[in-house]
Chains A and B, each alone.
Chain A
Amino acid sequence: MLNISELTLIRSGKNLLENVSLSIKPGQLTIILGPNGAGKSTLLKCCSGALQADTGHITLDKKLLSNWSLADLAKKRAVLTQQIHLPFALTVKEVVSLGLAPWALSDQQASKLIHDTLIEVGMPDTETRQYASLSGGEQQRIQLARVLVQLFADKPSRTKTQSQEGKYLLLDEPISALDLHQQQRVLRLLKNLTQKGLGIFCILHDINLAALYGDKLVLLEKGKVIFNSEPKRLAQGKQIETTYQADLIRLSHPDTQLPQWQFKQ
């Protein structure tokens, strides 16, 4: 379990995070929501070990995050940041294979894993294409494939049922550049992965998709946790409306009865 307790981070007199406590459980898709500048990416950076909080602590499997070695951490969790620009002309296969850095795989195993993962993210047979020639959404899916191979390289010939328990995926807006079809594909893929025991921390902007797919939603506002529970609990309060300060009407999803929101106009 990735456990965050009473995290506070102050930078130039501003509370970027204030007393944040939450946990990312194995087998759960935890979705982080919040307006721009609420501290979502900052929280992700703390969870991934890139930022050190001022007070509070984060533990991964009951061991302080700062006590993990970078190499062990790289085998345990993968992080996808927003928009990665590559200054040199690398092929898709070269980019995805960077995810295999923490592991020692044979060329054959690596090729197979990369091939299979590219199919999963909807970019089959693109290995030899230039990364720079792809569209923003395609590049985003290639980067997703990179973090997926990072997590799964120790079980390269995975079957549908193979457990991924004890591993974590931290994603910063992984579907921001994707079209509708690809958004659905990626969210379904993430959902599938949680069923194999993976714990996922995912920042999203779309509250409706978050409510549909998330096992748990965390709503951040000005660095504080406003809401931390199952999506259906959002149908009761007014947290979404007040946090985003937008004129919204709440609907109920016809199939799942989960809350959904629309602009009043």
Chain B
Amino acid sequence: MKRAFYSQIPYPVLILALFMVGIFALTQGAYSISWRDLFLSSMNDIDRQILMTVRLPRLLMAALVGAALAVSGALMQALFRNPLADPGLLGVSSGASVFVGILIVLNPLADNLPLWAQSYLQSIAAFLGAVLTCWLIFQLSKHKGQVSVLHLLLAGIAINALSGSATGLLTYVSNDEQLRALTFWAMGNLGGARWEQVAVIASILLPLLCYAWRQSKNLNLLLLGEEEARYLGLDVESFKIKLIAIVALCVGVTVAFTGLIGFIGLMVPHLIRMLFGADNRIVIPCSALLGASLLTGADTLARLLVIPAELPVGLVTSLLGGPFFLWLLLKNIRETS
């Protein structure tokens, strides 16, 4: 595979891209703000109000969630030694969503709690769901001490199907209001991001992302295989558990706040590897940057396409992800033939 000349300078390119997408996201929408005003800080009060209470928290939320989803994808791909591993494909997100669904519909204790506590409670539920599914998948796909790809995908299909039916059951027993919350949430949505939520999300995701970056050398060892990684001094068993915990936390938190947003974890690390190589010391931080740009861009598109309404962002990422996946498949077929 050939790498382009810019493979030497991944960070400036990606940071510039994120910056530009950010400006685009802040200025465009049902109400546009001139970018000149933004730079010169010569906005009027309405501009400033919209920027500070609506656009900026939403931008930060999208960037954080995008980065976390992309990095979780890269982590799972290293863990399973398979470029197709993705939290969505393997059922981690849908497993997490069942738990949130239970919380929304059965609503045992959430109503009386303050908003921030409700956010945390949803996160905890989603996290538990994600951990449980990650653990299940890992146990099911183990074959003679190695994680078998076939078992992995089968486990993912089974868990996705089970989660689907559980969510269906929840939909069936829910009332109208819950139903709307459930369906809207299931399609992924970044609307209504508030500063408190951004604070909660940032307090959980930023340390995780930094930790993942620090582990990139060990992730590289895992690419050789578990046995070889052990010979090179890595405590593989405890490292795998750490990775599963990070992925489950990232996916759990993002699912809790924004619902199901697919394909970021699959698309972003793949693109990064194509452009800049498969060294995880590059893949992890670059995936975070590109994931942030991609989800911010997709969210802005979701706001722009059907003004004054907006599309669920999960719909937009699937719309991008489906063709991407097909293109990947066709490219693969062409390369092997």
Contact = CB atoms under 8 A, between A and B. Distances in A.
Interface of A: 48-50, 70-71, 73-75, 78-79, 81, 84, 86-91, 94-95, 98-99, 101-102, 130, 150
Interface in B225-276: 225, 227-228, 230-235, 273
Contacts of B77: 88
A99 B234 CA distance: 12
Contact of B277 (A86, A91, A99, A102): A91
Contacts of A90: 223, 277-279
Interface of A: prevailing SS: mixed
Contact of B225 (A74, A84, A99, A102): A84
B220 interface: yes
B223 A102 contact: no
B83 interface: yes
Contacts of B82: 87
B101 to A, nearest CB: 34
- What range describes how many residues of B lie at the interface? 20 to 34
B221 A98 contact: yes
Given A50-B227, A88-B223, A101 B278 contact: no
A73 B233 contact: yes
B1 interface: yes
B224 interface: yes
B277 A98 contact: no
B76 to A, nearest CB: 13
Contacts of B279: 90, 94
B143 interface: no
B228 A84 contact: yes
Contacts of A98: 220-221, 223-224, 232
A94 B277 contact: yes
A31 B218 CA distance: 32
Nearest to A128: B3
A81 B229 CA distance: 11
Nearest to B84: A87
A88 B278 contact: yes
A130 B225 contact: no
A168 B223 CA distance: 24
A94 B278 contact: yes
Contacts of B194: none
Contacts of A48: 231
B217 interface: yes
Nearest to A74: B233
A70 B233 contact: yes
Nearest to A132: B1
**What are the 10 tightest A-B residue pairs by CB atom distance, in nearest-first order?**
A74-B233, A88-B278, A79-B231, A71-B233, A102-B233, A101-B232, A87-B81, A70-B233, A90-B278, A89-B278
Contacts of B83: 87-88
A203 to B, nearest CB: 15
Interface string B199-231: 000000000000000000110110111011011
Given A88-B273, A88-B278, A90-B277, A99 B227 contact: no
Contacts of A91: 277
